């Protein structure tokens, strides 16, 4: 982890907690076992400033084969994860995080990136956001899409390195290295404790 090399976290920062949903935490084909380990850290960051937290949720296709182009192939492969076959409520945030949702806001997306509509950017601009703190999963998929979109929009981006997870240890590690080395002028990686202790409210 690099730490906060660009200084303390200002009052206009917003925490984006990516896809911390029941379908990744419970018994589904997409269960990611070590989400258990990072959930308390993500929760601590959410609780630090719930009013400046935004949750994203990855919402699967309605039916197998739905979606444009390669997404149709994807949802045929993962047909058991479509809304038609998932148990009710599996798209929801984990209960611990859902309890904070009245203070936070939720952005639903049907692809990896939360930037495909104007909803997230509008929420951030309404809060005069200049810095995004990112937690959640997966480090190498939806977190990556969230980070790169934020970089392209000029936000300061801080990845909470001990509060992101993946189903692949190898690509999780490679993702953190990518953030800290290839995107060193755009992305910082720091621990939750360091972020919280340096976040002005």
Could you state, in chain order, the average pLDDT of each consecutive group of 10 residues for the chain (201 residues)? 91 98 97 94 95 97 95 97 97 95 90 96 96 97 98 97 96 94 96 96 75
Residue where the block lists tokens 């936000």: 155
The pLDDT value recorded for residue 141 is 97
Distances (CA, A) of 105 to 29, 70, 93, 174, 194: 27, 30, 12, 30, 24
Nearest C-alpha neighbor of 82 from the set 64, 65, 70 = 64
Buried b (16+ CB within 10 A) or exposed e, 160-169: bbbbbbbbee
pTM confidence score: 0.96
Q: In what order do the strands lie in the sheet with 156-165?
A: 105-109, 53-58, 13-18, 131-137, 156-165, 187-190
Nearest C-alpha neighbor of 39 from the set 118, 102, 93 = 93
The pLDDT value recorded for residue 201 is 75
Residues 6+ positions from 141 with CB-CB distance below 8 Å:
112, 166
Fold of 13-59+94-197: Rossmann fold (3.40.50)
Report the alpha-carbon distance of residue 190 to residue 201 in Å, rounded.
Answer: 18
The pLDDT value recorded for residue 103 is 80
The pLDDT value recorded for residue 120 is 97
Q: Please report, for the chain, the start and end positions of each structural domain, with discontinuous segments joined by +.
A: 13-59+94-197
């Amino acid at each position: 982890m690099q730490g906060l090399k660009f200084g303390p976290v200002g009052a206009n920062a917003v925490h984006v907690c990516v896809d911390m949903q029941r379908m990744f935490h419970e018994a589904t084909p997409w269960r990611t076992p070590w989400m258990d380990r990072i959930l308390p850290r993500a929760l601590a960051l959410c609780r630090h400033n719930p009013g400046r937290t935004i949750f994203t949720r990855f919402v699967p296709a309605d039916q197998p084969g739905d979606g444009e182009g390669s997404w149709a192939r994807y949802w045929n492969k993962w047909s058991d994860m479509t809304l038609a076959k998932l148990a009710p409520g599996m798209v929801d945030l984990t209960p611990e995080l859902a309890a904070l949702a009245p203070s936070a806001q939720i952005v639903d997306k049907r692809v990896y990136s939360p930037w495909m509509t104007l909803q997230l950017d509008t929420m951030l601009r309404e809060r005069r956001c200049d810095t995004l703190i990112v937690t959640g999963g997966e480090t190498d998929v939806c977190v990556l899409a969230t980070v790169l979109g934020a970089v392209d929009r000029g936000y300061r981006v801080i990845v909470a390195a001990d509060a992101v997870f993946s189903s692949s240890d190898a690509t999780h590690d490679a993702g953190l290295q990518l953030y800290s080395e290839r995107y060193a002028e755009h992305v910082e990686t720091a621990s939750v404790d360091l972020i919280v202790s340096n976040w002005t409210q």
